[in-house]
A and B are shown apart, each in its own frame.
Chain A
């Protein structure tokens, strides 16, 4: 059972992508769905998520999102641990005090402030720059390389069998978002190591630089750095005295005598360093992480609309379903071919009765003349405007071999078949030859297609008395 999707997430994005690769619904179904959720007409993303919820059951097998998110969780847990340990170790390394030279706060500031700001700036540039630039920037982050290598580890096997269908932009944002998280964990490790070191050891902090920086100037820099907490925790801002006191030069590993005398005061830097870590490496990073998370969500909302197949579904949601077709399938007519050959090429020389189905008497005479048929004893028009009873009378009076003219282009109706069957039943009639004629415009020449229609119908009558003449003269 899956949970309902109310907002776009990596999970809903991947699930929709998987569903769309297997099922996209028909226009009729999609439009009916949209009409049922008319309130969401102007919120395509929400409507799409509802559609996903409705069609979850159609996804065959395990959800790709589950595999991917499990993989992401495994790799992120491992990386989170690595980054925390790394942060802690870096903290220990930076704060290791051998009792000879004080710990240089500039080094610490570099790690706890400069690098985080630099990496956040790079991340920000990467977010808003083109794919190519972002790709190059990504190469600068160790996380990129760690992940590359981790792809060779068994975790990757979890993703076997499907390709994560995330666009470059989404992959980039996901990478940047995770980068912020790991950096945050790293910084927490760093802060923790600072606190432990402060509690467990006595550290003498100092500052030293080759550049010609006076304590006043350095103090001004420190004041700027502390701008975010100078009102709240003023004690976390080193005084000018402390800055002056802790300035040292590495000359023969000997420290200034006043520095040695005030060694107990040099530890006061820790509050400043802790606040710098807390504000720049943790708070800023945390805020940036939230921003990237939100931005990723926004991008997911945009990207979900450009997933392959979504345009079709959205169009179908909006477009009235127009159908012009029959709801039921037609039962196809089965044509059974009979065995008896009813078509003859040669006609009789003389007929006792000549009938014309839907012909006038004049037309029959004209046809006789055209076909070289001598006048018979009885020539009658049947069908047409005759009444059925009149035709019955004609059939009764017919005898011998009967020639029955028909219009080849007019297929035999059941009315014709009724008359034909009565002719067959008439014992005085020995043979009926049906002669399909073409139009006068074609000099009575018939078409094979029409002969075939007549043949099929007459075959179905299944009588030894009836034949079709296909004789062109």
Chain B
């Protein structure tokens, strides 16, 4: 019976200790905070993982402790066996009521409680190990609950005893499916949910709705990932670092410092991208990432520049010429045009030439104790034609690794982008589209909206190929 107050489907993932229940819950709930251990009893109390949309629960999964004293429970149940099968669930309730405070049956009560509150049963076994008759005791207890149930064959090891298991499980469960939480991708997750939807007619619509929500959720994650990759790539490619220098040309030390800062900033952008992507794909507890540092061997582009009042020499010449022209025009006006606008022409030439010739002198002029000129070493934007692809490749590689990584995996993430070739996923046509934006950024021009949209589409297409 479904609790009418909370009429959403619930599923309790149950089984023998250490058969991957928590891994399955972790993978299905996209939660890498679930404690998964190879020590029996890692899960000590049941824990609910609701799928919520704006606070409304669509379904809830329960991770439960494994059976510990199944034999003794079944013995008690048999002792109190009712005359008709439809009363068996009541006997289980009676057991829970009688032994709620008994430490010996704490784990069983934790796992039976959600089932007796209406949760469907997802019984997990390790099908890489041989079938054993001792499992029948657990299955029998679950049968007594009368709740809809299915079994999941989890392949933890290398061997495969699925056939034996299926034969036995088929006698107790309506459905038997294989699901490997460590290798499961989104597609497998959805397939499993589709199977779960068949467990009970009342749940079918709700689970189908949940599938749609999860698909939407997955697409949102993809869109956000692509958006972040696009934004970070554009930000990195157009990044320019200006380092103040003392003389007309930069010293080696100044160049070193500027380059270090420039590289550092790009690395920061990449780290931020990784953090954002980890958050999107809900991999918050990944231990460490071994990825070679960015742009170690990519040459940087730099140049020296001078400015006065923030104007480059070119701009200052133009300004000088304009100011000269205005002054000349004043003279022309004073002579009521009798000068045939020579004042304007001469003024603009004088202004322009003065700015050109006097630029160095102006640089040293102090206004209220501050130099009005500024000399800088400009590093960036990155001119290397290949760099954008390195950047994109690394981002796509990282994002796809996380997107494909099951939340049940607890090993540290090991990445080596040297094995990743973006060329494999980007064809010539795509490259042309990407290059349109890259070339604009190299020229420090802002790409148009349509170009950026096209750019996003290419990244999206590439990312979808990888996941």
Q: Are B75 and A322 in contact (CB under 8 A)?
A: no
Determine the chain A residues whose CB is within 8 A of the CB of B17 once the complex forms.
411, 413
A25 beta carbon closer than 8 Å to chain B: no
On chain B, the residues within 8 Å of A324 by CB distance are 28-31, 49-52, 214, 282
**Chain A interface residue bracket vs B:** 35 or more
Partner of B159, one of A319, A439, A452: A439
Closest to A331 in B: B44
Q: How far is the CB of B395 from chain A (nearest CB, A)?
A: 18
Residue-by-residue, is B40-54 near A (CB-CB < 8 Å gives 1, otherwise 0)? 111011011111111
List residues 332-371 of chain A with CB under 8 A from any CB of chain B.
332-333, 335, 358
Residues of B near A418 (CB, < 8 A) are 69
CB-CB nearest in chain B for A414: B68
**Considering the complex, which residues of chain A in the window 108-142 have a beta carbon less than 8 Å from any beta carbon of chain B?**
110, 136, 139-140
Distance, CA A412 to CA B66, complexed state (A): 11
Cβ proximity bits A433-451 to B, threshold 8 Å, 1 near / 0 not: 0000001111000000100
Q: Which 6 A-B pairs have the closest CB atoms?
A: A411-B40, A414-B68, A210-B336, A325-B31, A152-B368, A322-B217
Q: Is B85 an interface residue (CB 8 A)?
A: no
Taken together as a complex, chains A and B put the C-alpha atoms of A264 and B52 apart, in Å, by: 90
Minimum Cβ distance to chain A for residue B282 (Å): 7
Interface CB pairs A-B, < 8 A, 25: A139-B319, A152-B370, A209-B336, A321-B53, A322-B51, A322-B52, A322-B213, A322-B214, A324-B29, A325-B29, A325-B282, A328-B47, A330-B35, A331-B44, A331-B45, A333-B41, A383-B71, A385-B134, A387-B71, A409-B129, A413-B67, A413-B69, A415-B72, A453-B18, A453-B38
Return the CB mask of A4-40 against B: 1 if under 8 Å, else 0: 0000000000000000000000000001100100000
- Note all chain A residues with C-beta closer than 8 A to B220: 319, 322
Residues of B within 8 A of A321 (CB): 52-55
Q: Does B170 contact A (CB under 8 A)?
A: no
If A322-B213, A414-B68 touch, does A453 touch B159 (CB 8 Å cutoff)? no
Q: Does B30 contact A320, Cβ atoms closer than 8 Å? A: no
Kindly identify which residue among B18, B216, B368 contacts A411, using a CB–CB cutoff of 8 Å. Answer: B18
**Residues of A contacting B136 with CB < 8 Å?**
385
Task: Assess whether A453 is in contact with B39, with CB atoms less than 8 Å apart.
Answer: yes
Q: Is chain A's binding surface mostly helix, strand, loop or mixed?
A: loop
B130 contacts which of A148, A326, A383, A440 (Cβ < 8 Å)? A440
In the complex, A149 Cα to B308 Cα: how many Å? 12
* Contact A388-B49, Cβ < 8 Å, known A153-B368, A211-B337: no
A315 to B231, CA, bound (A): 16
Q: Mark B301-338, 1 if CB is under 8 A from A, else 0.
A: 00000000111000100110010001000000101111
Contact present for B29 and A388 (CB under 8 Å): no
Interchain CB contact under 8 A, A330 and B33: yes
**Cα(A322)–Cα(B51), bound, Å:** 7
Contact partners of B214 in chain A: CB under 8 A: 322, 324
Verify B66–A32 contact, CB threshold 8 A.
no
Q: Is A456 an interface residue, CB under 8 A from the partner?
A: yes
B positions within 8 Å CB-CB of A: 16-18, 28-31, 33-35, 37-42, 44-45, 47-55, 66-72, 75, 104, 107, 126, 129-130, 132-134, 136-137, 157, 159, 213-214, 216-217, 220, 224, 282, 309-311, 315, 318-319, 322, 326, 333, 335-338, 367-368, 370
Closest-CB distance, B327 to chain A (whole angstroms): 12
Asked whether A384 is an interface residue with its Cβ less than 8 Å from the other chain, the reply is yes
Shortest beta-carbon distance from A24 to chain B in Å:
12
Q: Does B132 lie within 8 Å of A358, measured CB to CB? A: yes
Find the B residue at minimum CB distance from A449: B38
Q: Report B406 CB to chain A, min CB distance, Å.
A: 13
Q: Counting CB contacts under 8 A, is A323 at the interface?
A: yes
CB 8 Å contact bits of A447-472 with B (1 = contact, 0 = none) = 00100110011000000000000000
Q: Is A329 an interface residue (CB 8 A)?
A: yes
Taking CB atoms, residues of chain A closer than 8 Å to B50 are: 323-324, 327
Residue A410, interface by CB 8 Å: yes
Q: How far is the CA of A418 from the CA of B48 in the complex (A)?
A: 30
Check A158 for interface membership: any CB of B closer than 8 A: no
Q: In the complex, which residue of chain B has the Cβ closest to the Cβ of A323? A: B52
Chain A residues contacting B51 (CB-CB under 8 Å) are 322-324
- Please tell me if A407 contacts chain B, counting CB pairs below 8 Å: yes
